[in-house]
């Protein structure tokens, strides 16, 4: 089905028809971009918990880590699980609405496991660099 209405669909068609590009874009790019987006957040949360007035630095770090975890769990995990499988299921919504739960149950595990495997692989690479930077981020202690 190649309907050339908008340039966006053309680009999508070009991407989807070349297997190598598609695999890279679907597999690695989202996890990489996500890691890049989330990279700047920990200092922001550290600043927020410093603003909250905790007396010890380790307490500030603990609270910041908790906030970051909530962002990851609520945002990335929930959006990834629900959004990803909803998009793939949405075609079938109109035809057979009674089977929605079954389709959800079918499509969710594969998408989620695949995406989160790559996400955590990429996160591990990135973690090494981040851990190396931690000391300079906090200054001399």
Partner 1 sequence: MLWVTEWAPEPRDVDWGNLEIPYKHHFFRGIVAAIGAGLITIFYIPLTTLVLALANLDSLYKFLPHVLLEILLKMLVS
The site string for partner 1 over 1-40 (x = CB under 8 A, - otherwise) reads x-x-xx-xx--xx-xx-----x--xxx-xx--xx--x---
- Residue 95 phi/psi, 5-degree rounding, is -75, -50
DSSP state of 46: H
Task: Give how many residues touch partner 1 by CB under 8 A.
Answer: 52
Phi-psi region of 137 (alpha: psi -120 to 50; beta: other; left: phi over 0): alpha
Contacts (CB under 8 A) with partner 1, residues 79-108: 79-80, 83-84, 87-88, 90-91
> Which residues have a Cβ under 8 Å from the Cβ of 31 and sit 6 or more positions away?
115, 118, 119, 121, 122, 123
Least Cβ distance, residue 141 to partner 1 (angstroms): 7
From CA 137, how far away is CA 141, in angstroms rounded?
11
Unique residue bearing structure tokens 């190598």 = 20
Least Cβ distance, residue 128 to partner 1 (angstroms): 22
The region of 55-63, 96-104, 124-132 touching partner 1 under the rule CB under 8 A is: 55-63
From CA 88, how far away is CA 106, in angstroms rounded?
11
| Binding residues for partner 1 (CB under 8 A) | 1, 3, 5-6, 8-9, 12-13, 15-16, 22, 25-27, 29-30, 33-34, 37, 41, 44-45, 48-60, 67, 70-71, 74-76, 79-80, 83-84, 87-88, 90-91, 111, 115, 141
């Amino acid at each position: 089905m190649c309907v050339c209405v908008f340039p966006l669909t053309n680009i999508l068609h070009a991407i989807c028809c070349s297997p190598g590009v598609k695999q890279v874009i679907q597999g690695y790019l989202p996890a990489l971009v996500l890691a890049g987006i989330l990279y700047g957040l920990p200092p922001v949360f550290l600043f927020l918990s410093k603003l909250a007035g905790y007396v010890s630095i380790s307490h500030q770090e603990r609270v910041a880590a908790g906030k970051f975890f909530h962002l990851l769990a609520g945002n990335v995990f929930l959006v990834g699980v629900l959004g990803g499988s909803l998009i793939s299921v949405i075609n079938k919504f109109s035809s057979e609405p009674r089977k929605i739960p079954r389709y959800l149950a079918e499509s969710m595990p594969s998408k989620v496991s695949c995406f989160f495997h790559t996400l955590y692989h990429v996160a591990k690479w990135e973690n090494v660099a981040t851990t190396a930077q931690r000391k300079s981020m906090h200054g001399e202690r």
